[in-house]
Amino acid sequence: MKKFAVSALLLGSTAVAFAGGITTNTNQNVAFLRNPARGNSTEIDAVYSNPAGVSFLEDGFHFSFNVQGAFQTRTSKSTFAPFAANGGKTTKTYKGTASAAIPSFDFVWKRNRWAVMAAFAVGGGGGKASYDNGLGSFESQVAVLPAMLSAQGLPTTAYSLDSHMKGSSMTYTPQIGVAFKVTKWMSIAAQLRFNYTINGYEGYVGNIMINPTHPLLNPTGAMVPAYDFFSQAAAATGDQTMAALAASVKDKHLDSKQSGWGFQPIVGAFFDYKGWSLGIKYEFRTKITVTNKTKIDDTGLYPDGDKQRNDIPSLLTVAAGKEFWDRFRVTLEYHHFFDKKAQVAHDKHDLIDGGTNEYIAGFEFDITKRLLVSTGVQRTQYNLSDAFYSDMNFNLSATSWGIGGAYRILKNLKVNLAYFVTFYDKRTVTQEIYNGNMLNLGGSDEYRRTNHVFGVGIDWNFK
C-alpha cells in the first residue's frame, strides 16, 4: 500500500493547474483568456504579463478586478491483467474532476515617467481535484492478492476495495513593483512577488475483500475482509508473511496539509517604436520549502513536521508585436520555463528531460472605439520522461485557444469577457513492473485531460 502515500504526496503540487508551466499559472487576468499573447501589453494586465509596459499607461490610477471559473477532468485508462479479478476487465478508467473560481486584482499608479504597481493572484494551482473511485496505482497493489494467494495453494479469484482521494493546491502571489520610462519608446521594470503555497490532501484505501478458499478459515470461498483473513492465518500458523500482508491491507487514511513560502524577483523591459513592440520579462526561481502538518497518516510516509522542496521554476518570456491601421494588432510570443533547475520532493526534477516551451500567437481588432475583439492560440510543450508520470500527477502537452472581447461602458470603465479551452495530447506510459507490484507484472496508463475556463473582468481608471 506504499503507492497510496506516494501518489498522495505528488498530488499537492499539481492538483489543479491551468495555463502555463508545470507549477505556474499564466492566466492571471481575463485579458489573457481572450488573447494569451499578452507579453507586450500596455494595458492594466501588463502588471503580470509585461511589467515594464505599465509605464505606457495614461497618468492616473488604474484598477482591474477579475474572476475566472475553470473546470477540468483528468482521466487515466489503466491496463493491468490482475484487475480482471474485480469486475472481469483488465482495463479500467479512473476519472478526477476539478473546478475552481480564481480571483485576481491589478493596480497601477502612473505619473510622468514613473509607475508603481501591485497585484494579487493565484500564481499556481487554484482548486481541488477529486478521485471518487481511487486510481489504478491504488488498486494495483490490491489486485495482485488473488494471484499471490493462489500460488501459495489458497485458490482466490476475486477482490474488492474502496478508495478515494481529494487534493488541493493554491499558491497565492501578491506582488509589488515599479516601472520607469527611460525614453519615449523604452521602459524598464522590477518587481518582487511573494509566493505562499498551501497543498492539502485527504485519502482512503480500505474495506479490502478477498475470497480465498481455506479449509478452516474460509471453506466456502466467500468474500471476507482481507485484514481479518490474514490476521487469523498469522495467528493460527505464526506465518510472518501473513502478518505482513495483514498490516499492508489494513484500512489506511491520510489527512495532511503542506505550506511554505518564498520571494521571487522579476525584471522586465519594453520597447515601442512606430507600431512595433517588444516585451521581455524574466522571473527568477523561487526556493520554497513546504512543511507537513499531518492529522492522520496511516501510511507512515507522511510524518508531521517533515520538510520538502517545492520550488517554482524561473521563466523567460519574449513577445514581439505589430500594430496595423491603428486598430489591428498581431503578437508572437515565446515562454521558457527552466523546470529542471527547480527542486521538488523525491528529486522529481531529475526525471525532467528539459524545460517547458510555449509558443503563442494573438490577434486584436478594434471594431469601434468602444468594442474590441481578440483571439489567440498557445502551444505548450513539456519535456518530461515517462518516469515523471503517475496517474495522480501528469502534465500533457497541449494546444489552447482563447476568444473574447472588451467593451468600454464608459470612457474610464471597460468590461472583459472571455472563454479559453485546452486540447491536450494523449500520452501512454508503459511500466515493466506496474506501480512496483509484488508479482513484477507489467501494465500501462493512458492519460487524458480536459480544461475549460470562463472569465469576466472590469478595468477602471481615473486621474
Span 35-82, pLDDT tens digits: 999 999 999 999 999 999 999 999 999 999 999 999 999 999 999 999
pLDDT beyond 90 at 24: no
Residue 121 buriedness (CB in 10 A; 0-12 / 13-18 / 19+): buried
Q: Indicate the pTM of the whole model.
A: 0.91
Output the nine-digit C-alpha cell for 338. Answer: 527552466
CB atoms within 10 A of CB 112: 9
245 and 235 in contact (C-beta within 8 Å)? no
Q: Is 194 helix (H, G, I), strand (E, B) or coil?
A: strand
Q: What is the mean pLDDT of residues 171-175?
A: 96
Distance from C-alpha of 39 to C-alpha of 455, rounded to nearest angstrom: 19
Q: Return the CATH number of the domain spanning residue range 2-462.
A: 2.40.160.60
H or E stretch including 99?
A: strand 91-111
What Cα–Cα distance (Å) separates residue 142 from each residue in 83, 263, 368? 9, 43, 63
Name the β-bridge partners of 379: 359, 399
Residues 6+ positions from 262 with CB-CB distance below 8 Å: 194, 195, 286, 287, 288, 311, 312
Residue 203 CA to residue 255 CA, distance in Å, equals 7
Q: What is the enclosing helix (H) or strand (E) of 14?
A: helix 2-14
pLDDT tens per residue across span 239-285? 898 999 999 999 999 999 999 999 999 999 999 999 999 999 999 99
| Per-residue model confidence (pLDDT) at position 9 | 39
Cα-based angle 98, 102, 105 (whole degrees, multiple of 5): 170
